[in-house]
Structure 1
Amino acid sequence: MPNRDIFANISPLDHRYARNEAQFTELEKYLSENATIKYQAQVELALVKVLAKRGIAPAKSVAEVEAAIASLTTAEVYAEESKTRHNIRALVNCIQAKVSPATRPYIHFTATSYDIVDTANSLRYQKATQNLILPYLKKLQQSWAQISLREKDQIQIGRTHGQHAVPVTFGFTMAEYVSRLGERIETISVQAEKLIGKFAGAVGAYNASSIFFEDPEEFEAEVLAELGLKPGEHSTQIIAAEPLTDFLHSLVSTFSVLAAFADDMRQLQRSEIAEIGEYFAAEQVGSSTMPHKRNPINYENVKSLWKAFMPRMITVYLDQLSEHQRDLTNSASSRFIPELITALISAAARLTKVSSRMVVDRENLAKNFAQNKQMIVAEPLYILLAAHGHPDAHEAVRKLTLKAQKTDLSLEELVEETTELRDYWQQFSQKQQQLILKPEKYTGIAAQKTEKIVKRWQQKFNYDLKLEG
């Protein structure tokens, strides 16, 4: 197969989003077509190893097959497939051509194509999870955890429905995503371990292997054990769809967490909010026509990638359906699964880079908080009034907020000039009064909760973080 100019490739994942050489090299090990052939060949090798252990294949067969697949190229297999019109038969033919006549009969012995295909896919997705997906996501989560600790006491106005609510801290805002991503990381790890293989033959009933083995299920387990996999309880010509479906769902739902974070951070960069910013290189351009623009391109890119790949989960659900013991309606669609993994890793890498350079504008955080700091104490005021026996505290405070909006008076000042409410005010303790007089203190346990969340994930994932405060 000829080498191609990367910019001649059709997929943007190749020529734009995953073109970093080091990252591409990592991805290629598990997600490329070369990797597909490599892992399929490893399954064929596992079969020969068990046949040799059982004294069926010659002892020398293992070394012969190892040497054969070491020299095997994807180009060879594709050239053979152009003749056979069958990819696994082509793989088998290429391996057989490189071994002795005594070994040839035991390549693919009692197997069907999807014993090889499905098992190889489960194996490479497990390896990709352990060596790519989890490390990239943990690195991202660690960058968020560091920001959370650093900003755990930084006041920020909370927002619900796009409106100012009650105060939080920016560290607390970040801790949400530390927690959500941490839970997704654990789910991905669990679901990857549940990926299964099969060696049960053409319809899953062990028809061929039962000719030679009194214990075909044990034989299956032995072959899969060579690869570090387990069989499912039942398979047809293909493995049961649900383990892969659940694994891919864990990836897509993780992608959604990344997209939610990106969208939140993008909104906080709006000109009228401007609480955070992306690092902007000296020669970076934000607009082709407006030189002053500094666009949140990285966050927008992640959200855009998510929009492209999130709907692919529908195809995964459709692939759960296969007529009777097997049809081919997932053979093309399942080949695009590596693209989903690649896009997720690309998004995680991009967010890690931009998060490590996040600029927090404390002046704008304070300015935005100050816009409504006299109004946001409506919640503690109404709760304290109710706690001190006011019969309709919520309505009383609602009317005060309407009055405050029409005047320059604060809620505290309006309480002082309202005889009925002033009597209640005087019953408040000094600490309770301070919640009304100093709205910046009304952050609940945001800082403590932030630190608690970060400590939890630091311990789980062994982060090297310095706890502040």
Structure 2
Amino acid sequence: MTDTDALYAVTPLDGRYAGRTAPLAEFASEAALMRARVRVEVEYLLALADLDAVGLDLTPDERGALREAYEGFDADDADLIKRIETEGARGYDATNHDVKAVEYFVREAAPERSHPWIHFALTSEDVNNLAHRLLVKPAVETVLVPALRDVRDALVEFAHDYADLPMLARTHGQPATPTTFGKEMAVYAARLGRAIARIEAAADDLAGKLAGASGTWAAHEAAFPDVDWRAFSRSFVDSLDIEYVEPTTQVNPSDDLGALFDAFRGANGVLTDLSLDAWLYVSQRYLGQQAAKSETGSSTMPHKVNPIDFENAEGNLAKANSDLAFLSAYLATSRLQRDLSDSTVKRNIGAALSYCLLAYSKLGDGLRKVVPNEEVMREDLRETPEVIGEAVQTILRREGHGDAYERVKELTRGERVTIDDFHDLFESLDVDEGVREELLALTPETYTGVGGDIARDA
């Protein structure tokens, strides 16, 4: 697609953001689905040929030519399949059926004596459910998970580099016990790491079926009752590096895809939280942004450097999760044995994953452009000395002061206090001098617990 063509794309995934979603094209495009279907048809034919009952002998050269049909699959092959489906080609009338068009395409690479065995006793869903999983699994493993790991790596780097940088925390939007910037990034890194593990587990559990028109192998059994078709199907699906599912109806119920989509929604929830917090940190000037000289932040306010990458990530994560929730719910249902609505819906899997990838890419850009503003963070802490109140009342409780909480509350709640106000309180307390010195040493900048250690463990 040229730059001009991209301007006329129906969706931004193939237009404005085509460069960012391109890594998924080999797994999410219609041509990719064609190629995967060809692979299933070819490998199924070869598996049949290995059955003594079938009696189909294929030479090594013939087997190689069949595998080349998908291993060397190119744009011309995709175009031929589409023409067979929509207008007819190579002596075939238009099928108006995408899987039948693939069957006829495979005939072009197969010796004529094997033609009766292509798509033998299969229903289209036997091919489609395996083809989709042959695409989704590597898309997750080679594109999406690495993109997520890049974000996690950036968070870990922040955690280590700024492990001890003190920062005011806010609960309910109000000043709270200080933390460190590194520790906050470590929390996100840990959450994202767990989310990635759930995605990887769900991808490993993707499961396929091959059981005929109603899930009973009826046609297979009618033709060859002495073959253990259940064992054959299990072996065949396993050979594609996909888990085997049984029993099914005509359709694979797609519970496995739902689990994967839900796992992605979990990761996207973590990253939405991160995007919102990063945006707020920029707003508070806790994070400074690198300003590109050629960029425009506002059409009317020349001074602005907007957190556009975090905003873009937030929007696309929301779009992705909306689509993933729809797919997860919709694909888990099918009228009676099946209805065809799942077929058109599954064509949107690639779009949902593309919105994920777009968001991960934008979030990564945003993280690379920001730098913690240490002086702003420290100044904010110095201006909110009331946050050491927790430490004060806790130490006094340790010393047996039953009214510790109430005394600190009276001094600080809803009041603007200074560190000197605390020092006056400490001087009035009936405590050992060692305890008084301990209290006098408290500062918001040093009251960060083991935040630094937590960050370094990321």
- Counterpart of 1:157, as a letter, is L
Paired position in structure 2 for 1:433:
439
Name the CA shift for 1:378/1:347 in 2 (closer, same or farther; >3 Å). Answer: same
Within-5 A mapping of 1:263-274: 263-270=276-283, 273-274=284-285
Q: Distance in 2 between matches of 1:329 and 1:414?
A: 73
Paired position in structure 2 for 1:413:
423
Paired position in structure 2 for 1:449:
454
Paired position in structure 2 for 1:59:
58
Q: Percent identity?
A: 26
1:377 touches 1:435 (CA, 8 Å); kept in 2? Answer: no
Q: Distance in 2 between matches of 1:278 and 1:78?
A: 48
Paired position in structure 1 for 2:293:
282
Paired position in structure 2 for 1:214:
227
Name the CA shift for 1:225/1:2 in 2 (closer, same or farther; >3 Å). Answer: farther
1:96 touches 1:104 (CA, 8 Å); kept in 2? Answer: yes
Q: Distance in 2 between matches of 1:236 and 1:49?
A: 25
**In the alignment, does 2:331 pair up with 1:319?**
yes
**In the alignment, does 2:139 pair up with 1:128?**
yes
Name the CA shift for 1:323/1:435 in 2 (closer, same or farther; >3 Å). Answer: farther
Give the superposed CA RMSD: 2.2
Paired position in structure 1 for 2:359:
347
Offset, 1:404: 5.3
Name the CA shift for 1:207/1:227 in 2 (closer, same or farther; >3 Å). Answer: same
Paired position in structure 1 for 2:174:
163
Q: Where in structure 1 are there 5+ consecutive unaligned residues?
A: 455-469
1:50 touches 1:222 (CA, 8 Å); kept in 2? Answer: no
1:400 touches 1:414 (CA, 8 Å); kept in 2? Answer: no
1:319 touches 1:329 (CA, 8 Å); kept in 2? Answer: no
- Counterpart of 2:200, as a letter, is S
Q: Distance in 1 between matches of 2:198 and 2:220?
A: 35
Paired position in structure 1 for 2:383:
371
The TM-score with structure 1 as length reference comes to 0.89
Q: Distance in 2 between matches of 1:226 and 1:409?
A: 70
Offset, 1:435: 5.4
Offset, 1:2: 12
Q: Distance in 2 between matches of 1:323 and 1:239?
A: 13
Q: Distance in 1 between matches of 2:445 and 2:36?
A: 58
**Range with bigger deviation, 151-160 or 345-354:** 345-354
Name the CA shift for 1:29/1:282 in 2 (closer, same or farther; >3 Å). Answer: same
Name the CA shift for 1:260/1:350 in 2 (closer, same or farther; >3 Å). Answer: same
Offset, 1:377: 0.8
**In the alignment, does 2:28 pair up with 1:17?**
no
Return the match for 1:395 from 377, 400, 406: 406
Q: Where in structure 2 are there 5+ consecutive unaligned residues?
A: 87-93
Q: Distance in 2 between matches of 1:268 and 1:289?
A: 24
Q: Distance in 1 between matches of 2:50 and 2:111?
A: 18
Within-5 A mapping of 1:29-428: 29-55=26-52, 56=54, 57-60=56-59, 61-69=62-70, 70=72, 73-82=77-86, 83-211=94-222, 212=224, 214-270=227-283, 273-315=284-326, 316-372=328-384, 374-402=385-413, 405=416, 410-416=420-426, 418=428, 422-424=429-431, 426=433, 428=435
1:18 touches 1:346 (CA, 8 Å); kept in 2? Answer: no
Deviations 1:201-226 (A, max 9, x none): 11111112223253111110222133
Q: Distance in 1 between matches of 2:290 and 2:35?
A: 41
Deviations 1:22-45 (A, max 9, x none): x61x22121111111111111111
2:208 touches 2:242 (CA, 8 Å); kept in 1? Answer: yes
The number of residues matched between the two structures is 441
2:199 touches 2:260 (CA, 8 Å); kept in 1? Answer: yes
Q: Distance in 2 between matches of 1:46 and 1:344?
A: 32
Name the CA shift for 1:179/1:369 in 2 (closer, same or farther; >3 Å). Answer: same
Offset, 1:427: 6.4
**Range with bigger deviation, 350-359 or 184-193:** 350-359
Offset, 1:293: 0.8
SS class of match (1:168): strand
Paired position in structure 1 for 2:91:
none
